[in-house]
């Protein structure tokens, strides 16, 4: 599990360039870059650390995990939970217990599957983490596409 804490490294969080996404190998190619699970988890941690501190403090009840593969086989990441914009004052407390954390999962094998170099893996991990965190904040795929993060 990747942890979320105060930023230790800063990253630029503008939208990805169109050129960079065009160099990714199409799905169906063999894994060209084999990033170890430990290194991949480190990359996810760096991407999380790069989230602006103000946004990081606003993340509420969310856990980030790294898994090798998704059940669907082609997902790079998945957000499972109740977006902050859909929560109300009674969110999760109706039974008198605290709600389970939302879950963001980043999938190692599918990301390595579409990248040709470790630099591309670093970039794709960053894009995927931002994409899934955006879902936690209630931003949908259509808006992420408009912003260049889909």
Tens digit of pLDDT for each residue in 20-52?
Answer: 333 334 444 455 788 999 999 999 999 999 998
d(CA 111, CA 86): 29
Which residues are CB-neighbours of 75 under 8 A, at least 6 positions away? 107, 110
Domain that holds residue 112: 32-82+100-147
Averaged over 102-114, what is the pLDDT?
Answer: 93
Give 56-99 pLDDT, tens digit per residue: 888 878 999 999 988 887 899 999 988 888 877 666 665 666 77
Looking at the domain assignment, is residue 93 inside a domain?
no
Residue 77's SS3 state is strand
**Closest to 16 measured CA to CA, from 107, 128, 138, 105:** 128
49 within some domain: yes
Q: Is residue 119 part of a domain?
A: yes
Residue 10 lies in a domain: no
The CA–CA distances, whole Å, from 134 to 73, 93, 94 equal 22, 24, 26
The CATH number covering residue 36 comes to 3.30.2010.20
Provide the pLDDT for residue 6: 33
**Reported confidence tier of residue 14, pLDDT bands at 50, 70, 90:** very low
Domain membership of residue 4 (yes or no) is no
20 in a structural domain: no
pLDDT of residue 91: 64
Answer yes or no: is 110 within a domain. yes
Per the structure, how many domains does the chain have? 1
How many Å apart are CA 15 and CA 72, to the nearest integer?
26
The better pLDDT of the pair 134, 14 is held by: 134
pLDDT of residue 93: 60
The pLDDT value recorded for residue 87 is 78
Arithmetic mean of pLDDT, 7-24: 36
- Kindly state whether residue 2 falls inside one of the protein's structural domains: no
pTM of the predicted model as reported, rounded to 2 decimal places: 0.75
Q: What is the pLDDT of residue 50?
A: 94
């Amino acid at each position: 599990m990747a942890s979320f804490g105060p930023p230790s490294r800063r990253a630029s969080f503008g939208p990805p360039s169109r050129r960079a996404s065009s160099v990714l190998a199409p799905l169906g190619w063999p894994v060209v870059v084999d990033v170890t699970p430990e290194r991949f988890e480190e990359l996810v941690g760096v991407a999380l650390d790069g989230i602006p501190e103000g946004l990081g403090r606003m993340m509420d009840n969310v856990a980030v995990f790294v898994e090798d593969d998704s059940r669907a086989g082609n997902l790079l990441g998945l957000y499972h939970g109740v977006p902050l914009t859909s929560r109300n004052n009674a969110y999760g407390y109706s039974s008198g217990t605290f709600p389970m954390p939302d879950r963001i999962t980043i999938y190692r094998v599918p990301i390595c599957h579409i990248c040709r170099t470790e630099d591309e893996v670093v970039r794709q991990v960053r894009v995927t983490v931002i994409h899934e965190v955006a879902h936690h904040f209630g931003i949908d795929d259509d808006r992420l596409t408009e912003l260049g993060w889909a």
